[in-house]
C-alpha cells in the first residue's frame, strides 16, 4: 500500500518548477520594495535627513556633493525612503540587483540613479561555465538567512539544477565560491583555504549586505567587512537577505543566460552594464 | 556584608532597579545559585558585569512551575571563584564564557577553554578531548561543511563506527554582537538583533523590543503584541517543516524532503506578506510593529496558511507512514530525560526528552498572556521524538494562527517607548522556534546599556547534540545534527 500511495502522491504533485525565466518571474512581495532609485537632483538644498536614519551608514552626503547611497551596504529597511521629504529615494520593485563591480552599486549621481546590472562573464569563461557551474558555498559570519535563501534555490519550485548550476561538497569540485556573511576574523583562514582549493579559473559571488560590505556589523573589530577583504569578488548580490529571485537572477545573468530580450521582464529603466 | 535571604522575583518582560538585585560575596553567591539549581530551578543566564577592574556575576534563574524568574548578583570579584559547573553541568558554557570575557576563572571547571576567542584567523579551539587506544581513531569535520550551512568544527573520538565522544568547537561566526552593545542602543542595534540568528529574527527582535519597553516602563499596544505573536508562530512554521524535510532527506526519504523544501518557502512567504521580508526583518521595533495586517491581507494570509498546512500534513503523513523512516529515527541519538534536565536543554529538544518547558506557557508575556499554545511533549529523547515534537508544534502553531487571525484586536500599532530608566535591569524571554531566547539588559545612570547579555537557545542545546552522539554510529551524525538543527551564529554572537 505504502509504495503505491507514495507513487500516487508523487504523480499528483506533478512537475513543480516555476516557468521563469521562460515566463515572467513571480512578483516580489508587495511590501518588499525591490531595488532603490536615488535622484540626487531632487534633494532639497542642504538636506541630509536620510543620512542619520540609515542603520548601516550606507548613505553619505559630503558638503557640496550629491547624496550617495551604497546599495551594497543597504539592508533595505526603507527608513530613508520613509524619511526623504522630496521623494528623492524611491523603491523600484525591481528584483534585479546583481552587479559586477562594487562601484556599480553606488547610486545618486545624475546618470547613476539606479544600479548598473551585471554583464555576463567574458566569452571564454562563459564557454567554460555557462552551461555547468559548480559552486562551493562558504558561510563566513552569515546569519543563516542568505544561506537559507540560497538553499531554497535547490528546492523543487526554483530547481536550480535545470540551469546546470549545483552546489558541491568539495572546493576541489567547484568552479567558484558563493560567499555569505560579513567574514568574521575567525573564518578568514577557512575562507582563504577554501578559495585556494578551488582550481582556476574560478569565480567568486558575494551574496548579501554582509558579504558585500559587512552589513549590520560593518566596522566591528571582529569582522573584515565582507568577502573582498580576503578574495577577489566577481559578482555582488545585494539584500538582507536577497530574495531567492534576486540571487537566481544574478547567477543566470553572470552566465549570460538572461540575454534574450524576450526572457527579460518588462522593466524599463535598468541600464545594462557594458 | 550581610547575606541576602533569597533571589529577587522578576516576571518575564519586566525590570527592576539594579540596587534591588540582592548581592552575595562571590563564594556564597555560587552556593546560593547552586542551592536553587538543586531544587530543579533552571539557569537562563550567567554572566559578568564589569565593575572597575573587577567583575560581578549575575544569575537569571527560571522557576518554570511557578511562572517566574529570579535574579541575584555577586559582589565584585577578581581572579577566581569556585566553579558552579562542578556541581551543575548546565553552567559549563556560561562559565567558560565569563572566563573568556572577563578573565574570572571558575576554579574546578572540568573543561575550561575558550568559546569564541580569535587565534590567527580561526577560533582558539585549544586541545580537544582525546580517547587513547590502539583501535581508537579521531575524525575532524569542518569548519566548512558539505552543504549550504554555517561553519563549526566537530571532533569525534571513534572505536570503529561507534562514537565514544564528540567535542563541538564553535566561534567561527563570531561578529562581536555583545561587545558592541555597551553605550547603546545604537542606530544599528535593532538590525543586529534581527541578525543575531537570522532564522530567528522575530524571536530575537521581540526579546530586544520587550527589554527596551521594560526599561522604558511602557508596553507595546495590544495589536502589536498580537502581530508579534503571529510572526513568532510563522517563524516556527517556516522552520519546523524545513527540519522535517531535512530529516527525511538524511534518511534518503525523498517525497517528504522534496515537498517540505517548498512548503518551508510557502511559510516564509507568509511572513513576507506581512512585512515584505521572508525572515521578518523590519517588522518588530521597540514600542510596537512597523507593518500592519489589514483585513484583505489577513484574508490572503488565512487562505495561503490553510493551503500550506494541508500540504505539510500530507508530507508529514508520508513520513510517519514509512516504516523505513521510523526505524531510522527510533532509538537514534537518545538524550534521556534526566540528562536533558542536567544540561539545561530548552525548546523542542527539551520537550522531545519529556521536559514540559515552553516560555509561551511557563512565562507568558505579551500576547501569550491572553492566548497560549499547548506545550507539545514526547518522552523518548531520540531523533524520532525531536521530529515528532516538531510535527505536533506545526499543528498547534497552525491552529493558533487560524484562531488569532479570526479575532484581531483593534488599536494603534506602536507607542514610542520613552527614555530608558537608569541603573535598571530588565529581562525578556521569548520561545523562539529553537527554544528560549533570553535577553538581559543593564543600564548605566544615563539610561544607556552598561551590559547586554544575549542567550540564544543553541547556547544551551549544543551540548545535547554532543551527548546524543555517544555510543552512536558516526554515520548517524547528520541525522542527529539535523534533529537538533542548532544555530552557529546565535551561539557565536
Residue B79 lies in a domain: yes
Residues in chain B closer than 8 A to A156 (CB atoms): 258-259, 261-262
Residue A35 lies in a domain: no
Q: How far is CA A227 from the centre of its chain?
A: 13
- Mutation target for B interface from A58, A182, A187, A215: give the one with most B CBs within 10 A: A187
Cα separation values, B412 from B286, B287, B366, B418, Å: 14, 11, 15, 17
Among candidate residues A32, A31, A40, A52, the one with its CA nearest the CA of residue A86: A40
Q: Alpha-carbon distance A58 to A72, whole Å? A: 8
Residue B381, pLDDT score: 96
Mind telling me how many Å the CA of A126 is from chain B's nearest CA?
Answer: 24
> Between A and B, how many CB-CB pairs are < 8 A?
197
**B185 and B99 both lie in a single domain:** no
Number of domains in chain A: 1
Q: Alpha-carbon distance A250 to A247, whole Å? A: 5
Among residues B82, B107, B132, which one ends one of the domains? B107
Report the complex ipTM: 0.94
Confidence of residue B358 (pLDDT cuts 50, 70, 90): very high
Mean pLDDT of B303-313: 95
Residues in chain A closer than 8 A to B123 (CB atoms): 186
Q: Which residues pair with A139 in a beta bridge?
A: A180
SS3 B161: coil
- Mutation target for A interface from B198, B248, B311: give the one with most A CBs within 10 A: B198
Among residues B53, B88, B107, which one ends one of the domains? B107
Of B172, B179, B191, the CB nearest to A184: B172
Number of neighbours of residue B77 by Cβ within 10 angstroms: 20
**B101 and B200 both lie in a single domain:** no
Q: pLDDT tens digits for B121-141?
A: 999 988 999 999 999 999 999
Residues in chain B closer than 8 A to A211 (CB atoms): none
Mean pLDDT of A35-48: 90
Q: Cβ separation of B262 and A156 shorter than 8 Å? A: yes
CA angle, A19 then A25 then A31, to 5°: 140
Residues in chain B closer than 8 A to A149 (CB atoms): 278
Of A157, A215, A241, the CB nearest to B262: A157
Residue B3 lies in a domain: no
Residue A92 lies in a domain: no
Q: Which three cell numbers stand for residue B446?
A: 544615563
pTM of model > 0.90: yes
Q: Cβ separation of B173 and A78 shorter than 8 Å? A: no
**B320 and B429 both lie in a single domain:** yes
**B475 and B339 both lie in a single domain:** yes
Residue B224 lies in a domain: yes
Residue A145 lies in a domain: yes
Residue B149 lies in a domain: no
Q: Give the lowest-confidence range in B103-107, B254-258, B379-383.
A: B254-258
Mean pLDDT of B174-202: 96
Domain that holds residue B255: 178-492
- Residue pair B168/B465 in contact (Cβ under 8 Å)? The answer is yes
Among residues B71, B89, B107, which one ends one of the domains? B107
Q: Alpha-carbon distance B372 to B359, whole Å? A: 10
Residue B2, pLDDT score: 61
DSSP B168-228: EE--TT---TGGG-TT---TTHHHHHHTTTGGGHHHHHHHHHHHHHHHHT----HHHHHHH
Please, which residues have CB within 8 angstroms of residue B39's CB and are 6 or more apart in sequence?
A: none
Residue A259, pLDDT score: 66
Q: Cβ separation of A243 and B278 shorter than 8 Å? A: yes
Of A30, A142, A189, the CB nearest to B122: A189
Residue A263, pLDDT score: 40
Q: Cβ separation of B195 and A148 shorter than 8 Å? A: no
Residue A144 lies in a domain: yes
Confidence of residue A267 (pLDDT cuts 50, 70, 90): very low
Number of neighbours of residue A140 by Cβ within 10 angstroms: 31
Mean pLDDT of B34-61: 96
- Residue pair B164/B470 in contact (Cβ under 8 Å)? The answer is yes
Residue A274, pLDDT score: 36
Q: Alpha-carbon distance B12 to B359, whole Å? A: 9
Residue A147 lies in a domain: yes
SS3 A57: coil
Please, which residues have CB within 8 angstroms of residue A14's CB and are 6 or more apart in sequence?
A: none
Residue bearing cell 571547571? B109
Give the residue from chain B lying closest to A239, CA to CA.
B277
- Mutation target for A interface from B114, B121, B199, B201: give the one with most A CBs within 10 A: B121
**B378 and B276 both lie in a single domain:** yes
Please, which residues have CB within 8 angstroms of residue A59's CB and are 6 or more apart in sequence?
A: A50, A51, A67, A68, A69, A70, A80
**B227 and B357 both lie in a single domain:** yes
Confidence of residue B112 (pLDDT cuts 50, 70, 90): very high
SS3 B58: strand
Cα separation values, B149 from A145, B171, B261, B400, Å: 10, 15, 15, 31
**CATH code assigned at A130:** 3.40.50.12280
Residues in chain B closer than 8 A to A166 (CB atoms): none
For B42-88, list the strands marked E by DSSP: 42-51, 54-63, 68-74, 80-82
**B62 and B204 both lie in a single domain:** no
Between A209 and A274, whose confidence is greater?
Answer: A209
Q: Alpha-carbon distance B493 to B197, whole Å? A: 8
Residue A100 gets the label, from left (phi > 0), alpha (psi -120 to 50) or beta, of alpha
Mind telling me how many Å the CA of B118 is from chain A's nearest CA?
Answer: 6
Residue A131, pLDDT score: 87
- Residue pair A158/A244 in contact (Cβ under 8 Å)? The answer is yes
Between B356 and B2, whose confidence is greater?
Answer: B356
- Mutation target for A interface from B117, B124, B148: give the one with most A CBs within 10 A: B148
Number of neighbours of residue B446 by Cβ within 10 angstroms: 11
Give the residue from chain B lying closest to A18, CA to CA.
B262
Residues in chain A closer than 8 A to B187 (CB atoms): 52-55
Among candidate residues A166, A167, A159, the one with its CA nearest the CA of residue A22: A159
Helices B295-321 and A2-13 meet at what angle, rounded to 10? 150
Residue bearing cell 578573565? B103
Number of domains in chain B: 2
Q: Give the lowest-confidence range in A5-9, B177-181, B268-272, B388-392.
A: A5-9
Q: pLDDT tens digits for A193-220?
A: 999 999 999 999 999 999 999 999 999 9
**B199 and B87 both lie in a single domain:** no
Strands A176-180 and A203-207: parallel
Q: Alpha-carbon distance A61 to A77, whole Å? A: 19
DSSP code at position A261: G
Q: pLDDT tens digits for B217-255?
A: 999 999 999 999 999 999 999 999 999 999 999 999 988
Domain that holds residue A174: 123-256
Give the residue from chain B lying closest to A146, CA to CA.
B198
**CATH code assigned at B236:** 1.10.645.10
Q: Cβ separation of A31 and B276 shorter than 8 Å? A: yes
Amino acid at each position: 500500500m505504502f509504495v503505491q500511495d507514495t507513487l500516487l502522491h508523487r504523480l499528483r504533485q506533478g512537475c513543480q518548477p516555476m516557468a521563469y525565466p521562460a515566463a515572467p518571474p513571480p512578483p516580489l512581495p508587495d511590501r518588499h520594495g525591490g531595488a532603490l532609485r536615488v535622484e540626487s537632483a531632487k534633494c532639497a538644498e542642504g538636506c541630509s535627513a536620510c543620512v542619520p536614519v540609515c542603520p548601516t551608514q550606507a548613505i553619505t552626503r559630503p558638503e557640496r556633493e550629491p547624496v550617495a547611497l551604497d546599495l551594497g551596504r543597504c539592508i533595505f529597511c526603507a527608513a530613508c525612503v520613509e524619511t526623504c521629504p522630496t521623494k528623492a529615494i524611491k523603491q523600484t520593485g525591481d528584483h534585479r540587483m546583481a552587479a559586477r563591480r562594487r562601484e556599480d552599486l553606488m547610486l545618486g549621481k545624475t546618470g547613476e540613479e539606479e544600479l548598473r546590472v551585471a554583464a555576463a562573464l567574458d566569452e571564454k569563461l562563459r564557454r567554460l561555465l555557462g552551461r555547468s557551474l559548480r559552486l562551493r558555498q562558504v558561510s563566513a559570519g552569515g546569519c543563516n538567512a542568505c544561506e537559507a535563501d540560497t538553499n531554497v534555490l535547490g528546492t523543487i519550485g526554483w530547481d536550480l539544477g535545470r540551469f546546470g548550476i549545483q552546489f558541491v561538497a568539495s572546493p576541489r569540485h567547484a568552479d567558484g565560491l558563493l560567499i555569505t556573511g560579513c567574514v568574521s576574523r575567525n573564518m578568514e583562514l577557512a575562507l582563504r583555504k577554501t578559495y585556494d582549493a578551488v582550481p582556476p579559473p574560478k569565480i567568486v559571488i558575494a551574496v548579501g549586505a554582509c558579504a558585500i560590505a559587512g552589513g549590520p556589523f560593518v566596522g566591528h573589530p571582529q569582522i573584515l567587512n565582507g568577502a573582498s577583504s580576503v578574495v577577489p569578488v566577481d559578482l555582488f548580490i545585494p539584500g538582507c537577505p536577497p530574495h531567492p529571485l534576486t540571487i537566481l537572477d544574478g547567477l543566470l545573468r553572470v552566465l549570460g543566460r538572461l540575454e534574450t530580450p524576450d526572457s527579460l521582464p518588462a522593466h524599463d529603466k535598468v541600464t545594462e552594464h557594458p | 556584608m550581610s547575606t541576602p535571604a533569597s533571589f529577587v522575583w522578576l516576571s518575564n518582560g519586566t525590570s527592576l532597579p539594579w540596587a534591588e538585585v540582592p548581592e552575595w560575596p562571590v563564594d556564597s553567591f555560587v552556593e546560593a545559585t547552586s542551592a536553587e539549581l538543586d531544587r530543579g530551578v533552571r539557569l537562563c543566564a550567567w554572566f559578568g558585569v564589569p565593575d572597575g577592574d573587577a567583575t560581578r556575576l549575575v544569575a537569571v534563574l527560571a522557576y518554570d512551575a511557578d511562572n517566574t524568574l529570579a535574579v541575584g548578583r555577586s559582589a565584585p570579584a577578581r581572579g577566581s571563584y569556585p566553579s558552579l559547573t562542578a556541581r551543575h553541568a548546565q553552567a559549563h558554557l556560561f562559565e567558560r564564557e565569563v572566563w573568556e570575557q572577563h578573565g574570572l576563572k571558575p576554579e574546578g571547571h572540568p573543561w575550561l577553554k575558550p568559546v569564541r576567542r580569535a587565534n590567527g584567523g580561526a577560533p582558539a579551539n585549544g586541545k580537544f578531548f582525546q580517547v587513547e587506544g590502539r583501535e581508537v581513531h579521531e575524525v575532524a569535520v569542518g569548519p566548512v561543511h558539505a552543504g549550504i550551512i554555517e561553519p563549526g568544527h566537530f571532533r569525534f573520538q571513534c572505536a570503529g563506527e561507534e562514537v565514544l565522544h564528540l567535542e563541538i568547537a564553535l566561534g567561527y561566526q563570531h561578529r562581536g554582537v555583545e561587545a558592541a552593545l555597551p553605550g547603546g542602543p545604537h542606530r544599528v542595534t535593532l538590525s543586529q538583533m534581527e541578525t543575531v540568528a537570522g532564522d530567528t529574527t522575530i524571536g530575537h527582535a521581540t526579546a530586544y523590543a520587550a527589554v527596551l519597553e521594560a526599561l522604558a516602563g511602557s508596553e507595546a499596544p495590544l495589536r502589536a503584541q498580537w502581530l508579534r505573536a503571529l510572526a513568532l508562530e510563522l517563524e516556527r512554521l517556516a522552520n519546523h517543516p524545513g527540519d522535517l524535510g531535512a530529516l527525511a532527506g538524511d534518511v534518503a526519504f525523498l517525497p517528504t524532503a522534496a515537498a517540505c523544501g517548498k512548503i518551508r518557502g510557502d511559510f516564509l512567504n507568509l511572513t513576507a506578506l506581512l512585512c515584505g521580508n521572508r525572515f521578518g526583518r523590519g517588522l518588530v521595533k521597540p514600542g510596537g510593529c512597523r507593518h500592519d495586517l489589514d483585513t484583505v491581507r489577513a484574508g490572503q494570509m488565512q487562505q495561503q496558511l490553510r493551503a500550506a498546512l494541508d500540504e505539510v500534513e500530507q508530507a508529514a503523513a508520508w513520513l510517519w507512514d514509512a516504516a523505513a523512516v521510523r526505524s531510522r529515527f527510533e532509538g537514534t541519538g537518545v538524550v534521556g530525560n534526566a540528562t536533558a534536565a542536567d544540561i539545561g536543554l530548552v525548546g523542542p529538544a527539551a520537550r522531545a526528552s519529556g521536559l514540559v518547558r515552553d516560555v509561551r506557557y511557563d512565562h507568558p508575556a505579551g500576547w501569550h498572556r491572553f492566548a497560549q499554545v499547548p506545550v507539545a511533549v514526547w518522552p523518548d529523547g531520540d531523533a524520532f521524538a525531536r521530529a515528532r515534537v516538531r510535527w505536533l508544534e506545526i499543528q498547534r502553531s497552525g491552529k493558533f494562527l487560524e484562531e488569532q487571525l479570526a479575532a484581531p484586536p483593534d488599536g494603534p500599532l506602536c507607542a514610542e517607548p520613552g527614555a530608558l530608566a537608569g541603573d535598571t535591569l530588565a529581562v525578556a524571554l521569548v520561545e523562539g522556534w529553537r527554544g528560549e531566547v533570553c535577553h538581559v539588559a543593564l543600564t548605566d545612570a544615563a539610561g544607556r546599556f552598561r551590559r547586554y547579555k544575549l542567550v540564544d537557545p543553541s547556547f544551551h542545546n549544543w551540548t545535547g547534540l554532543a551527548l546524543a552522539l555517544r555510543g552512536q554510529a558516526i554515520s548517524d551524525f547528520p541525522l542527529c545534527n539535523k534533529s537538533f538543527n542548532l544555530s552557529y551564529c546565535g551561539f557565536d554572537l
